[in-house]
Amino acid sequence: MIEDWWMNALWSVTPTIIIGALFGAIIWAAINADRKTRRDRAAVEREERERFAAEQRDRAV
């Protein structure tokens, strides 16, 4: 009798745990992708600022 109760409890909680883990993995992937995108974009912007500054120096001379 008590074994049936534990098995029912396990089967009731398992889908919630699986969906929660899947949701957590999706959120983690989105945050990680956003972090990488921001880092890459900052590098490109830094290069563009350096190029623009070099062009301004060349014009001034």
pLDDT in tens, 5-15: 989 999 999 99
Instruction: Decide if pLDDT at 1 tops 80.
Output: no
Amino acid residing at 56: Q
* pLDDT score for 51: 95
CA 29/CA 9 separation, integer angstroms:
31
Alpha helical stretches, state H, the chain: 2-60
* pLDDT score for 3: 80
Mean pLDDT of 28-54: 95
Per the prediction, the chain carries an average pLDDT of 93
What percent of the chain is modeled with pLDDT above 90? 82
**What are the tokens at 48?**
């563009």
